[in-house]
Amino acid sequence: MDEKERQKAIEEERKRISETVSKIKHRIAVFSGKGGVGKTTVAVNLAYGFNSKGFTTGILDADITGPNVPKMLGIDDNPTVMNNQMLPFEKDGVKMISMAGLLQKGQPLIWRGPMRSKVISQFLADVIWEDLDLLIADLPPGTGDEILTIAQQMKPDYAVIVTTPQEVSVIDAERAVNMAKQLEISSIGIVENMSGLLCPNCGAKIDLFGKGGGIKLAQEMSVNFLGSIPIDTEARILGDKGKPIFLEKPDCEVTKAFQSIVDKIELHFKEKELV
């Protein structure tokens, strides 16, 4: 392919991405300053929270080298390809695309940033999302190329930054908030995950990782504090089985926390539409 053909291909891809984004009402990027804070759990359960309120919802697994969304949805298949386009998986009403369906089990993906970003662009250009109320992008930890690509291509109108109460996590979350601001994502909210362990026997709350780190950061950074999610061993067990806790335990404290976060984001979108 010569330079002229390459530029034409790039322009055609950009056009397809623009057409895809134009059909999605709201786009939410979920990311974190560090790994291990439960970012994917947050992204998946927020998707089902919005879906439960009647929103057509999709998840774009943008963690190309560590795609875990299919595991949490119990999906272990290859995507269907039609006319050079992919059909997203659909599980309990939520659509999803991930690199996991294109890899053999246990196969590492040793790619540099531009290659990972290229896949994300293809997930926007060549996946048949159709009309969606919300597309939630589950991003890898840190502040790397994938987040830049999502910001430039998907144009998120809300960034959800996930942290734990622990100080070292809050320090990294501050970097993530600053990156979201520099990328000019119009609205930013912080979720404090793993906010106390709920004892399975007595229901008492144990602050394993401290408390209040998320709300303190939100106040200092002048962004929204969306809420705290407690640790529940059932969330981990169900996630490993491919069953989101939002669907399996609708009355538990974790699900109530996710529902509250969904309500706050929904209210924000409604208020923005009235302006």
Whether 1 is in a domain gets the answer: no
Read off the tokens for 25: 């009402």
At 275 the pLDDT is: 41
Whether 92 is in a domain gets the answer: yes
Whether 138 is in a domain gets the answer: yes
Whether 205 is in a domain gets the answer: yes
186, amino acid identity: S
Predicted confidence pLDDT, tens digits, the chain (275 residues) = 678 888 888 899 999 999 999 999 999 999 998 888 999 999 999 999 999 999 999 999 999 988 999 999 999 888 888 888 999 999 999 999 999 877 767 677 777 888 899 999 999 999 999 999 999 999 998 878 888 999 999 999 999 999 999 988 999 999 999 999 999 999 999 999 999 887 777 777 788 787 889 999 999 999 999 999 999 889 999 999 999 999 999 999 999 999 999 999 999 999 987 64
CATH number reported for the structural domain that contains residue 265 in this entry: 3.40.50.300
Whether 9 is in a domain gets the answer: no
Whether 162 is in a domain gets the answer: yes
Cα–Cα dist 180/183, whole Å:
5
Number of domains in the chain: 1
At 274 the pLDDT is: 62
Whether 2 is in a domain gets the answer: no
pTM: 0.93
At 32 the pLDDT is: 92
**What letters, b where the CB count within 10 A reaches 16 and e where it falls short, cover 44-79?**
bbbbbbbbbeebbbbbbbbbbeebbbbbbbebeeeb
Give me the domain span that covers residue 22: 17-274
